[in-house]
C-alpha cells in the first residue's frame, strides 16, 4: 500500500464502520445529555470491539488505523468519534509509559468501555504553550507528592474515572521539570466542574487541593512527563485531521444532496455555476486534506523522518478545510441549516474546536516553519 491509497480491505472496513456507527452508535448519542459523558455510548464502543482497536494485543494502534477509525465514525456520529478518541488519548500514556500494574488495572477497563479516561494537560494559562504549565507537585516528605492547582478544558472532566495528569515536579525549568501521573478520580482533594461549551462533547475543569500521589502513580520517570505527553500527541495529531475530514465529508455529502434536489431560479441548485464550482473546489480540498492525513499517518507508522512537520501539515489543512466545508454547506442550504437539530447546525458547532485543541492552527504553522529551517 502506498501512502496515498487504501487497499480494498481498508475501504471495506471503513464502510462497515460507517454502517455500524449509524445503526448502533448514533441512536445512543441522540439520547444523551449534551456536555456529559455518555457511558452507554462508551460501553457500546467497548462491546463492539472498537476500543480494543486502539490497543491491539496490548500494543499501540497504527496511526493509519486510528485515522480510519476516527474519520469513519465522525462521518456518521461525531459523539461516537469523540468518545473513542478520548479513551485513546487518556489511556495511551498508560500503555506507552505505565507499569505492568498500571496497565493491568486500567487498560482492560478502558477497552471494555467500563472506565472513562481523561488527558489533563491544559491549564487556564497554559494551553498551546504546554511547557508553561504550573500545576505543582510538592514533595510530601514520604517519597510522594501533593498536587495543587487547576487543569482546564479537559475532555471528560470531571466525570472521568482516572486522568493522566501532567504536573511540575521541578527537576529543571520548562518542559524538563514535568512529570506524568495516573490519578484515579476518587483521590481526596480532587474536584472539578463542567464547562458549558459551544460543542456538545463533555469538557470541564479539574481542581487539585493537595491531591496525594506516590511513585506508584508516576507514568514513566519523574521529570520526563513532557515526553509522555508529546509521544501521545504525535500519535493523535494526524487523527485530529481525520476527525475533521469525517465532518467535512458529511457536510459535503449533505451539500451535494441538497444542491441536487433543491429547486431555485428554474432548476436545481447544482446547475448554478456558482454552486457547482464551489462544490468542485470543496471536494478537491477535502480529498487533498484526506490524502495528506493518510500520508502523515503512514509516515508515522513507517518511522519516516519529519513526522512533526507532516503531522502539523495534516492537522492544519484538514481542520481548516473542514471549517470551510461546513460553512459552505450551511451557505448552500440557507437558513434551514441553522435550525437546532439539523446535521449542519450540529457540525457547525463541532467543527470549530479542532482548529484549537492539540495545538492551534497558529501553533501548527509555527511547527511547520521551524521544521522547514531545521
Q: What is the pLDDT of residues 330-340, one digit of tens each?
A: 999 999 999 99
| CB-based contact 229:180 (threshold 8 Å) | yes
Q: Which of 193, 358, 362, 371 is catalytic?
A: 358
Average pLDDT over all residues of the chain = 93
Q: Is position 358 annotated as part of the catalytic site?
A: yes
58 pLDDT tier (thresholds 50, 70, 90): low
Question: What confidence tens digit (pLDDT) does each residue in 164-174 have?
Answer: 999 999 877 77
pLDDT of residue 266: 86
Kind plus residue range of the DSSP H or E element containing 367: helix 361-372
pLDDT of residue 4: 63
Question: Strand runs (DSSP E) across 254-336, as ranges?
Answer: 263-264, 267-268
176 pLDDT tier (thresholds 50, 70, 90): confident
Whole-model pTM: value is 0.94
Instruction: State the residue for C-alpha cell 467535512.
Output: 248
Bond preceding residue 158 cis, omega within 30 of 0: yes
- Backbone phi, psi, residue 144, to 5°: -120, -160
DSSP string across 55-118: SGGGSPPPHHHHHHHHHHHHHH-HHHHHHHHHHHHHHHHHHHH--HHHHHHHHHHHHTTSS-EE
DSSP label of 198: S
CA trace torsion 190, 228, 122, 135 (10° rounding): 50
pLDDT at 281 over 70: yes
Show Cβ contacts of residue 225 under 8 Å, excluding neighbours closer than 6 positions: 166, 167, 169, 178, 179, 180, 181, 219
End-to-end CA distance of the chain: 30
pLDDT at 2 over 50: no
pLDDT of residue 240: 96
**Which structural domains are found in the chain, ordered by start?**
8-111 (1.10.540.10), 117-224 (2.40.110.10), 227-372 (1.20.140.10)
1 pLDDT tier (thresholds 50, 70, 90): very low
Rounded to an integer, the average pLDDT of 206-231 is 95
| CB-based contact 106:39 (threshold 8 Å) | no
pLDDT of residue 47: 97
pLDDT of residue 130: 67
Rounded to an integer, the average pLDDT of 108-114 is 97
Share of the chain above pLDDT 70, in %: 98
| CB-based contact 259:275 (threshold 8 Å) | yes
Share of the chain above pLDDT 90, in %: 83
Q: 209: helix, coil or strand?
A: strand
| CB-based contact 66:56 (threshold 8 Å) | no
Q: Which residue has the higher pLDDT, 365 or 125?
A: 365
Show Cβ contacts of residue 91 under 8 Å, excluding neighbours closer than 6 positions: 54, 55, 106, 107, 110, 117, 164
215 pLDDT tier (thresholds 50, 70, 90): very high
Amino acid at each position: 500500500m502506498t501512502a496515498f491509497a487504501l487497499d480494498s480491505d481498508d475501504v471495506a472496513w471503513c464502510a462497515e464502520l460507517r454502517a455500524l456507527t449509524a445503526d448502533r452508535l448514533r441512536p445512543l448519542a441522540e439520547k444523551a445529555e449534551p456536555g456529559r459523558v455518555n457511558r452507554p455510548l462508551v460501553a457500546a464502543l467497548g462491546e463492539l470491539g472498537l476500543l480494543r482497536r486502539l490497543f491491539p494485543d496490548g500494543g499501540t494502534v497504527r496511526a493509519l488505523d486510528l485515522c480510519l477509525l476516527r474519520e469513519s465514525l465522525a462521518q456518521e456520529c461525531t459523539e461516537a468519534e469523540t468518545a473513542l478518541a478520548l479513551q485513546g488519548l487518556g489511556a495511551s500514556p498508560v500503555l506507552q509509559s505505565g507499569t505492568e500494574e498500571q496497565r493491568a488495572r486500567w487498560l482492560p477497563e478502558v477497552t471494555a468501555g467500563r472506565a472513562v479516561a481523561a488527558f489533563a494537560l491544559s491549564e487556564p494559562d497554559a494551553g498551546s504553550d504546554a511547557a508553561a504549565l504550573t500545576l505543582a507537585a510538592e514533595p510530601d516528605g514520604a517519597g510522594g507528592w501533593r498536587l495543587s492547582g487547576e487543569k482546564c478544558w479537559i475532555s471528560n472532566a470531571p466525570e472521568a474515572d482516572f486522568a493522566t495528569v501532567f504536573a511540575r515536579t521541578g527537576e529543571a525549568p520548562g518542559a524538563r521539570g514535568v512529570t506524568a501521573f495516573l490519578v484515579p478520580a476518587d483521590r481526596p482533594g480532587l474536584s472539578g466542574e463542567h464547562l458549558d461549551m459551544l460543542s456538545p462533547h463533555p469538557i470541564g475543569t479539574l481542581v487539585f487541593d493537595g491531591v496525594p500521589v506516590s511513585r506508584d502513580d508516576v507514568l514513566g520517570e519523574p521529570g520526563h512527563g513532557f515526553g509522555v505527553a508529546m509521544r501521545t500527541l504525535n500519535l493523535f495529531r494526524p487523527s485530529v485531521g481525520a476527525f475533521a475530514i469525517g465532518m467535512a465529508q458529511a457536510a459535503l455529502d449533505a451539500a451535494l444532496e441538497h444542491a441536487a434536489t433543491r429547486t431555485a431560479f428554474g432548476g436545481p441548485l447544482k446547475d448554478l455555476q456558482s454552486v457547482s464550482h464551489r462544490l468542485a473546489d470543496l471536494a478537491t480540498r477535502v480529498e487533498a486534506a484526506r490524502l495528506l492525513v493518510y500520508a502523515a499517518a503512514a509516515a508515522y507508522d513507517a518511522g519516516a523522518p519529519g513526522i512533526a512537520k507532516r503531522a502539523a501539515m495534516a492537522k492544519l489543512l484538514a481542520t481548516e478545510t473542514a471549517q470551510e466545508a461546513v460553512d459552505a454547506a450551511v451557505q448552500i442550504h440557507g437558513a434551514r441549516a441553522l435550525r437546532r437539530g439539523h446535521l449542519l447546525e450540529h457540525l457547525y458547532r463541532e467543527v470549530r474546536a479542532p482548529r484549537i485543541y492539540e495545538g492551534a492552527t497558529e501553533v501548527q504553522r509555527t511547527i511547520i516553519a521551524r521544521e522547514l529551517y531545521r
